[in-house]
Amino acid sequence: METDEGSRRVLPFQLQFDKPLASQVKMAEWNPEKDLLAMVTEDSKVVLHRFNWQRLWTISPGKCITSLCWRPDGKVVVLGLEDGTVSLHDVEQNGKLLRSLKSHAAAVVCLNWEEDAQVNRDTSGNPLAFEDRTTRFFPPAPRVPRMPRLVPGETGLTEDGQDSFEELSNSSKQCFNILCSGDKDGFLCFSVFGVFPIGNVNIHECDIPTTTKDRNIVGRLLNASIRKVVLSKDLCHLMVACSGELVEDIVESRGGQMVGDSMHGFHCLVLDTSIFQKSENELHQVAQQASNIEDLLHVIRTSLSVMNKQWADAMNIFHEKFDLLSNLINDHGGIFQSISFFLVLWVKCDRV
């Protein structure tokens, strides 16, 4: 009997690989296809491996990494940093920085990128396709000039500016998706396609209805820190796991008496985000147009910066050369002497 039970026993997990790393891994995430593994080490490096443990690339943002997630198509890795920055990196181009957004004032401790799994249909039941109308209003952005002696990524947008819009903001070819980020101070930020911010929520300002035994409670969180956020597949609900103190604002007991209490610990909140699903087409179009505008402005800003730097360099060279010439003329005599200046230009000099 014991032999039969042992033969039926199946190991739930099987060790595939056991490889050492130079630094301890503090977080890891599989991509949606489960064939790539992104890991963050204690020294704030991002290492990307295949399932067979083949290393593809390693990057170091230079700041402490506090969260990690993938875009739904598995082509972009998102990093949350300790200074409140959210950075997007291209998986297929060795972790190239695509966009860096400073959307938080505290460390970004959780990220979730979800796309709408539902297909919108018209009244006849036919699927609705998004119509990209931005080409009617915005010309294609020209090539971004390279800043002389600029370290890649310092602009906070891209290492190769002309590819940013095509790689990241070409939302007409993407399913509608939203990136949600949460920080340790209780703020949530939402971005369409990860590049266009559409709103934020402070969980300290949310009224939280709760029913305990014979009481209906409406409270608020104090000193709350977000631990995990998850958007539903239809983008209509947001689950937030957080820690903090739930303080009762209004308490109505069945006896009609007003009482007050507080509960400290972990809390799970469900927020209504159905506006994302209801306004999907509008948000899609606005995000597309805003991305075009931002891309054009980026070209203008970078061009002006390059012009300013090149003009400053040219003026420095001019002053270096002509200041030396002026000193030589003054030392050895020339047309700038007082009498010669008077005879040549008929301009009265104080010494004459």
Non-local (6+) Cβ contacts of 269 within 8 A are 203, 206, 208, 239, 240, 241, 242
User: Is the Cβ–Cβ distance between 209 and 217 less than 8 Å?
Assistant: yes
d(CA 246, CA 100): 34
d(CA 68, CA 44): 11
> In this structure, what token pair is assigned to residue 150?
């600029």
Structural domains of the chain ordered from first start: 26-120+133-143+154-303 (2.40.128.630)
**What is the pTM assigned to this prediction?**
0.71
Residue by residue, DSSP assigns 88-133 as: EEETTTTTEEEEEEE--SS-EEEEEEEE--SPPB-TTSPBPPP---
Per-residue pLDDT of the chain (352 residues; tens, 9 = 90+): 455 555 566 667 777 777 777 788 899 999 988 889 999 999 889 999 888 888 899 999 889 999 999 999 889 999 999 999 999 999 988 888 888 888 899 999 999 999 887 655 555 555 555 566 666 776 776 776 776 655 444 444 444 444 544 555 554 456 788 999 999 998 999 999 888 888 899 988 888 877 666 667 777 888 888 999 999 998 899 999 988 888 876 444 444 444 456 677 888 889 999 999 888 888 888 888 887 787 788 788 888 988 999 999 998 888 887 777 777 767 766 545 555 665 566 555 555 4
pLDDT of residue 222: 84
Please give the C-alpha separations between residue 295 and each of 88, 163, 258, 287, 301, in angstroms, as whole numbers: 16, 10, 56, 12, 10
pLDDT of residue 259: 47
Q: Which residue has the tokens 């939402």?
A: 190
Classify residue 271 as left (phi > 0), alpha (psi -120 to 50) or beta: beta
Strand partners, 315: none
CB neighbour burial string for 225-239, b if at least 16 within 10 angstroms, e if fewer = bbbebebbeebbbbe
The number of C-alpha atoms within 13 Å of 318 and in the hemisphere containing its C-beta is 6
pLDDT of residue 207: 81
Residue by residue, DSSP assigns 256-318 as: S-----EEEEEEEEEEE-HHHHHTHHHHHHHHHHHHHHHHHHHHHHHHHHHHHHHHHHHHHHH
Non-local (6+) Cβ contacts of 222 within 8 A are 204, 244, 245, 246, 247
pLDDT of residue 248: 74
Q: At 69, is the secondary structure helix, strand, or coil?
A: strand
Strand partners, 229: 240
Other Cβ atoms less than 10 A from the Cβ of 120: the count is: 13
> In this structure, what token pair is assigned to residue 11?
């190991």
Burial of 317 (0-12, 13-18, 19+ CB in 10 A): exposed
CB neighbour burial string for 32-46, b if at least 16 within 10 angstroms, e if fewer = eeeebbbbbbeebbb
pLDDT of residue 119: 59
User: Is the Cβ–Cβ distance between 81 and 66 less than 8 Å?
Assistant: yes
pLDDT of residue 88: 92
Other Cβ atoms less than 10 A from the Cβ of 300: the count is: 12
d(CA 246, CA 264): 6
Which element (helix H / strand E) includes 320? helix 280-332
pLDDT of residue 114: 92
pLDDT of residue 64: 92
Other Cβ atoms less than 10 A from the Cβ of 180: the count is: 23
